[in-house]
Amino acid sequence: MITLEVKLSLNIQLKQNHAKTYLAGIAKAAAYKVTGHWDFDQGDLRATLGADMQYGDLPGETAMRDHTSFGTTTSFGIPNIGGQVAKVMKYTRDENPPVPIGPRGYLCSHGMAPNGGGTNVNQFTMIVDFMIPNLHAVDGYNTVVKWEAVDDWNIDGSISIKANDIGGGTNTGGIGISGQYTGDGTTWIIGGQWQRLVVAVDMVADPGDPADGTITYYLDGVKFGQMTTGERWGFDRRHAIPPVIRMYADGEADNEVNTVYVNSLQFREGTMTDEQAAALGAATASWIPIPPNPVKGQWDFNQGDLRATLGTDMQYGDLPGETAMRDHTSFG
């Protein structure tokens, strides 16, 4: 999906030598639509916005449910978020998960339609406020999400945190996949500390190159690093996600999901920019913000005229008896 800001501004720049313009009404809107949001403040997996999450246990299993609990930072005896008590969900590491070794994770319907011209969601942003007490537990890998082949347990998780002590401390690490966990060296994951993670995915960065694409990571608004290559990389592949993904699930029989606390989880349409991630800032006890103003108007021009995709159709700005704007406008 191409936003109004890109397409409309381009058209205006190309025609700025004309006296008239196009008449369009749009309220100041959020950059990207939130399609799924979970705060866990009701002591279960219900959604604040979108579809409720579900335990990923297979029929007859209860492992994920049994290892999940809800409470506050105080009741769990963990650090508050920004100095304030917060309601959180806890997943306690399962040392003996069902065979084949998962764990199964939480089934999450993110609510986004396929985009970027593919059959999967190629452009999206995942945001999570979380805290992992011990990054070095077991083998030091901490899977965050499995969004490729979500029901195939022979395929590994999709995004993971690796305890590699890049921050100079003994409980620090990086985030990524395909052996890329060091980032730019300006920030890092800190075990035992609440952080806001933004994963901004664009698998159609260059529509002419199916293998192109980027995943950019931010921690508390600071860019951690960007991936431009990886296994099964590119358009409609590993990091272009299906309608339902598994949070905190893993494959390849290595059980790389450790104890983690989550305060808030959110999915947004589109790939967040550096500026937008910086504006989100750090984790807060009041959850990830949901932009208050949904998109009120959008025009894609894919029907060969000025009709709206969302909202009111645009009109040529010609005065009565004039046709200049209409005459100098074409679609293709």
Task: Tell me how far apart the terminal alpha carbons of the chain are, to the nearest angstrom.
Answer: 17
SS3 195: strand
| Integer angstrom CA distances of residue 13 from 17, 20, 115, 313 | 9, 13, 26, 20
Check: CB of residue 165 under 8 Å from CB of residue 173: yes
- For residue 74, what is the enclosing H or E element? helix 73-76
Q: What is the pLDDT of residues 73-92, one digit of tens each?
A: 999 999 999 999 999 999 99
At residue 329, does pLDDT exceed 50? yes
At residue 22, does pLDDT exceed 60? no
Position 43 scores a pLDDT of 97
At residue 309, does pLDDT exceed 80? no
Check: CB of residue 242 under 8 Å from CB of residue 107: no
Domains along the sequence of the chain with CATH: 1-15+25-29+298-332 (no CATH), 34-280 (2.60.120)
Check: CB of residue 95 under 8 Å from CB of residue 239: no
Across 20-24, 93-97, 183-187, least confident range:
20-24
Q: What is the pLDDT of residues 24-63, one digit of tens each?
A: 433 322 347 999 999 999 999 999 999 999 999 999 999 9
At residue 248, does pLDDT exceed 70? yes
